Structure 1
Amino acid sequence: MAASPADLSAALVLSPVPPADWFVVLPPAWCLLAGSVLLMLRKKRRLQPLLAIPALALLVLFDALLFAHVLENGPVTMVMGRWLPPFGIAFTADLTGALFALAGGLVALAGGIYALTDIDGEGRRYGFYPFLLLLMAGVSGAFLTGDIFNLYVWFEVLLIASFGLLVLGSERRQIDGAIKYAFLNLVATTLFLIATGYLYGIFGTLNMADIALKAAAAREWLPLMTLAALYVLAFGMKAAAFPVNFWLPASYHTPRIVVSALFAALLTKVGIYAMMRVMMTLFPLEREELSLLIAAAGAATMILGALGALAQSDLRRLLGYAVISGIGVMLAGVSLGSPGGLGGAIFYALHSMIVMTGLYLAAGVAGRLAGTFDLNGAGGLHQRSALFSGLSLMLFFAVSSLPPFSGFWPKVMVVKAALDIGAWWLAAAILLAGFLTTIAFGRVYLLAYWRPAGAGRPAGDGRIPASAMLPIAAFAALALLFGLLPEPLLAVAQSAARGLIDPAAYIRSVFPGVT
């Protein structure tokens, strides 16, 4: 008697996968594939950028198609090996993840183009472009995964790549910065892994949608506050939040300027994204209990970052403190947890990814023109190139959150959300940090750009390559565009925030039968 075929419908996805759903897994898979090819061809120095830049352009295309798909159809889930969640590893893209992935792809493409100028033949031979693709595999995977252990895995992937990029050149100061960077990230990663092991021991699952369902059903007797506090600390260290932010200004000024730009735009934002995802989706009530602590950390982060920027004479160190100050604004939005506050944090994170990349790349050109990154020795940049001076000024206005540039509107959103609940002190901290940042970058412009170059100051290279000017001009234009026409991005950011606050659509994407 022939055995009846087994019913696999309860364990496997049996229906064909819609072609558009492949965009959920395509960004990290494509980066790993392209990075592997570049690694095999690492001795072909001239061939490296010719392959890497089109690969990064395709990554932007894949991210844009994914964003359009999610915007039209809602969150999308794909599971590995056709195994149904929570047994199969899920990739789930919602508006927040798709937005961050698209912005990350744009940053990587700009970095790849700028590296034509900043990375020499030896840097290419020792793996700049393969490391960049590996970094983007980790960043894209972190933004798109629906499994919290795989979030940890993608963190490790991007960290491995970041170590390689950090020491590219093997200079003494790079090794020193890498040691500080590695130690603090090792501590944060260990806390992340401990919290994830504890989470698995409690729930028996690592799928974030599954955990959200189980946590909501048994919140009264589970030690979720302990878990939430561990994750806040781990992600706070990753994002360089006060009081565990001292590793960033000690390391971000040491590598090549294009590497610093990639780190400033991507690595801290992965920490902020992870905090948003975990705290809003898995631990919403615990986030509310910790909101005052997160808000206080955000206020201290933004003000101390702005004060640190004011105290610096090295342009690269100054930008590191500007990154930290921006993280404080995002933490403030996370602490508020409202559509306005969280939407402002998402908008500000996207703004920061674009503007900080432009600022670091502009700092590289400024150092090339002036022959130094020291503000005390620089001068005359406006006389060297009025166009570059104007683009830099646009980026200075944007990072200071002055109208009509992109940083103005998300800060308005977060300030309004703070005032709506009576948190006037948090709104005041945001405004004070913006004022101090304006002074810090006004000082940069006056000393390095407007002040005439004096006798005895070092003379730099007077040429600005097109590969350097193009990404700076593009990001300055984006900062102006999002400031003049903020409505589309405002609407998408608020929609993304509502999806984090009410993850029902996210959960239904993973478990279609759940109501």
Structure 2
Amino acid sequence: MTLPASIVTPLIPLPVLIPLLAAALTLVLGRRPRAQRIITIVALVAVTAVSSVLLFLADRDGTTALQVGGWEAPLGITLVVDRLSALMLVVSAVVLLAVIVYAVGQGIRDGDSEQPVSIFLPTYLALTAGVCNAFLAGDLFNLYVGFEVLLVASFVLLTLGASAERVRAGVSYVMVSVVSSMIFLAGLAAVYAATGTLNFAQMALRLDDVPQGTRMAIFAILLVAFGIKAAVFPLSAWLPDSYPTAPAPVTAVFAGLLTKVGVYAIIRTHTLLFPDGSMDNVLAIAGLLTMVVGIFGAIAQSEIKRLLSFTLVSHIGYMIFGVALSTKAGLSGAVYYVAHHILVQTTLFLVVGLIERQAGSSSLRRLGSLAAASPFLAVLFLVPALNLGGIPPFSGFIGKVALLQAGADKASVLAWVLVAGGVVTSLLTLYVVARVWTKAFWRARADAPEGDISDDSPTALLDNASDVSYDSRVDPGRMPVGMLVPTVGLVVVGLALTVFAGPIIGISDRAADDLRDRTVYITAVLGGTEDPVTYGVDAGADATGGGVR
């Protein structure tokens, strides 16, 4: 039985409203850190619950739109929940909840000097609202607002502690983000000049009447803006220098989630606004170069955070690969791989935070014997690392096989080149994570080139001991439960993507069907306010020919 819209639609704005209200409340309670923590965790649990309900309803009943304030589309703000946006909401909410529990556990155990709780928690909640708003946005300007909320919140989180290194990385990050935002604004202006609207559904109708050259120019501008945010090569050089300097929880949520908002924007605009395939070859080449250049960058690193940052860039290429195929199988594989990568990449960065806390460093030149010192920590790293490397039967293997099969089905020369690039990248990823395992966990610490030196860590070193031997470290004790539990939880959720791969791929398949049939989205947003046939959108037309499948 389908629930009436009057029951479903009130849930749609809650993933944005709940963290915004919680952010305001935690800001007022700045001198009561315990209350701040409770409010933050309760708010994120609520966001996770609401997002899960929205995914269930979207998968069962289809796409639903809410016109905020009662304004009819396209005049007002439109929020849209379909299978893609709902799946992104659920995965993001799970990751955001796990990371904040990890951060709170770290702060309680080791102190809050690295992430002052009075600033950290309200900003983190604002970041959550920005992410959810971007996924729900039904118009291009609201998507821009979501990105700007992310930019402001992420700059604060990136520079916590105000060390010279973090401020330098934060300034670099902001400069790149501001350039991206300016390009995005230029795209907004071009779209409005060409169509007279910023509502996605109405734009989808009106862009069909825009000359081909103008359409391609607008799409190129938006791709550059979103490509910077998604760290697509050659627009990805900023990422490895920005993310590793932040505190471990911040790095984890940035690496796992923020670039995927850019990928989501590429998927949405490509399938809804520009489905004619005119830029598919450009996307395919960008995806191939992102995969290959990123993984070669990872091979050259000796610091685990930077190494994982390069693998993050590399695996964005797999998602662009799927989008560029413009087929149901390619889109389905890309959607599944986005969900997989958010979970696995976040988990790995949380594990690196535990490594830094227990060993005082994340440099491969200084690490060794971690498997003997902490077998459980070794398992926590090994499972998501093998998942990232695409070892069967993990979700990384399933996602890569889905994308490679989609490329083989496409059977064009460029598709086969992408398949070859995907295979090579997967093998090199496995080499990279195996190298981390053998150096940091398996070999004796005495065999490390700098095994007798540890980084200056407030929880791991004696006072004024920036250049002391490893053995003079203060025993950090057992791994804090507050940091361990969310990390284990994310490992389990990552494994659940394998155990429940069938149902989840079913959702991604249905999401791909929705993406290729634009009338589903357009009808949900505009209803009977505009006749799709008047604007050349025929439900029986081929999506690659200017209409929809």
TM-score using structure 1 length:
0.94
Q: Deviations over 1:264-284 (max 9, x none)?
A: 111100000001101110111
Out of 514, 533, 537, which is 1:499 matched to? 514
CA distance in 2 between counterparts of 1:125 and 1:495 reads: 41
Residue number in structure 2 paired with 1:157: 149
1:448 aligns with 2:440: yes
The superposition leaves residues 50-83 of structure 1 with CA deviations (integer Å, 9 ceiling, x where unpaired) of 2211111111011111111111111110112111
Confirm or deny that 1:359 pairs with 2:374: no
After TM superposition, give the deviation of residue 19 of structure 1 in Å.
Answer: 2.3
Measured in 2, the distance between the counterparts of 1:456 and 1:147 equals 56
Give the corresponding residue for 2:370.
381
Q: Residues of 2 paired with 1:264 and 1:343: CA distance?
A: 22
- Partner Cα distance (1:420, 1:70) in 2: 29
Question: Counterparts of 1:309 and 1:56 in 2: how far apart (Å)?
Answer: 33
1:9 is matched with: none
Partner residue in 1 for 2:180: 188
**Alpha-carbon distance between aligned partners in 2 of 1:406 and 1:130, rounded to the nearest angstrom:** 33
Match of 1:336 among 312, 321, 325: 325
Unaligned runs of 5+ in 1: 1-15
- Aligned pair partner of 2:27 in 39, 42, 56: 39
Moved over 6 A (4+): none
Alignment-derived partner of residue 299 in structure 1: 288
SS in 2 for 1:18: helix
Q: Is the 8 A contact 1:101 1:140 kept in 2?
A: yes
Q: CA deviation at 1:126?
A: 4.3
Equivalent residue, structure 2, for 1:56: 44
Using the TM superposition, give the Cα deviation of residue 501 of structure 1 relative to its aligned residue in structure 2, in angstroms: 1.3
> 1:225-264 alignment to 2 at 5 Å?
225-264=216-255
Q: What is residue 114 of structure 1 aligned with on the other side? A: 102
Report if aligned partners of 1:375, 1:447 keep a CA contact under 8 Å in 2. Answer: yes
Which SS does the other structure have where 1:77 is aligned? strand
* 8 Å Cα contact 2:322-2:403 kept in structure 1: yes
8 A contact 2:514–2:521 mirrored in 1:
yes
**Pairing of 1:428-439 with structure 2 (within 5 A):** 428-439=420-431
Preserved contact between residue 45 and residue 121 of structure 1 (Cα < 8 Å): no
Q: Which residue of the partner structure matches residue 395 of structure 1? A: 384
Decide whether the 8 Å contact of 2:55 with 2:86 is kept in 1: yes
State whether residues 336 and 399 of structure 2, in contact with CA within 8 Å, keep that contact through their aligned partners in structure 1.
yes
Query: For 2:116, what is the secondary structure of its paired residue?
Result: helix
What is residue 5 of structure 1 aligned with on the other side?
none
Question: 3-state DSSP class of the match of 1:142?
Answer: helix
**Structure-1 residue corresponding to 2:523:** 508
- 2:476: which partner in 1? 461
1:207 and 2:199 correspond: yes
**In 1, distance between residues paired with 2:500 and 2:64?**
28
2:497 & 2:326 partners in 1: Cα distance?
Answer: 23
Q: CA deviation at 1:180?
A: 1.2
- In the alignment, structure 1 residue 78 sits paired with structure 2 residue 42: no
Q: Tell me how far 1:222 sits from its aligned partner.
A: 6.8
Deviations 1:399-445 (A, max 9, x none): 11111111111111111111122221100000111111100110101
After superposition, give the CA deviation of every residue in 1:345-380 in whole Å (9 maximum; x if it has no partner).
111110011001100000000111211111111112
Distance 1:252 1:339, change over 3 A: same
The aligned residue for residue 269 of structure 1 is: 260
- The answer as to 2:503 corresponding to 1:488 is yes
Q: Distance in 2 between matches of 1:26 and 1:222?
A: 40
CA distance in 2, matches of 1:387, 1:318: 22
Find the residue that maps to 1:78 and give its secondary structure. strand
Structure-2 change in CA distance of 1:108 and 1:221 (3 Å):
closer
Tell me by how many angstroms 1:290 deviates. Answer: 1.1
Tell me the secondary structure at the aligned position of residue 252 of structure 1: helix
Deviation digits for residues 312-333 of structure 1 (CA, Å, limit 9, x no counterpart): 1111111111110110100101
Deviation for aligned residue 1:221: 6.0
Asked if 2 retains the 8 angstrom alpha-carbon contact of 1:48 and 1:124, the reply is no
The whole-number CA distance in structure 1 between the counterparts of 2:329 and 2:212 is 32
CA displacement at 1:478 relative to structure 2: 2.1
1:11 paired residue number: none
| Amino acid in the other structure paired with 1:44 | R
Q: In structure 1, give the amino acid aligned to 2:131.
A: V
CA apart distance, 1:17: 6.0
Give the equivalent residue in structure 2 for 1:345.
334
- In structure 2, how many angstroms separate the alpha carbons of the residues matched to 1:33 and 1:66? 20
Q: What's the TM-score once normalised by structure 2's chain length?
A: 0.88
Instruction: State the 1:289 CA deviation.
Output: 1.6
Q: Give the number of equivalent residue pairs.
A: 497
Residues 403 and 483, structure 1, Cα contact 8 Å, conserved in 2: no
Q: In structure 1, which of residues 79, 91, 94 is the aligned counterpart of residue 82 of structure 2?
A: 94
Contact map agreement 2:27 2:118 (CA 8 A) in 1: no
> What SS does the aligned partner of 1:127 have?
helix
User: Residue type of the partner of 2:361?
Assistant: T
Deviation of 1:472 (Å): 1.6
Structure 1 counterpart of 2:520, which letter?
A: A
SS at match of 1:326: helix
Find the counterpart in structure 1 of residue 7 from structure 2: 19
Q: Pick the aligned partner of 2:137 from 131, 142, 145.
A: 145
- What is the CA distance between 1:391 and its match in structure 2? 2.0
RMSD: 1.5
Structure 1 residue 481: Cα displacement: 2.4
1:192-222 Cα offsets, whole Å, 9 max, x none, are 1100111011111111001111123x14467
What is the rounded CA distance, in whole Å, between the counterparts of 1:270 and 1:318 in structure 2?
22
Q: Which moved more, 1:175-184 or 1:16-25?
A: 16-25
Q: Alignment partner of 2:65: what SS?
A: strand
Alpha carbons 2:74, 2:202 under 8 Å: kept = yes
The equivalent residue for 1:477 is: 492
Kept in 2, the 8 Å contact 1:380–1:453? The answer is yes
One-letter code of the match for 2:243?
A: Y
Structure 1, 63-72 or 45-54: larger mean CA deviation: 45-54
Q: Which runs of 5+ in 2 are unaligned?
A: 454-469, 533-549
Letter in 2 for 1:289: S
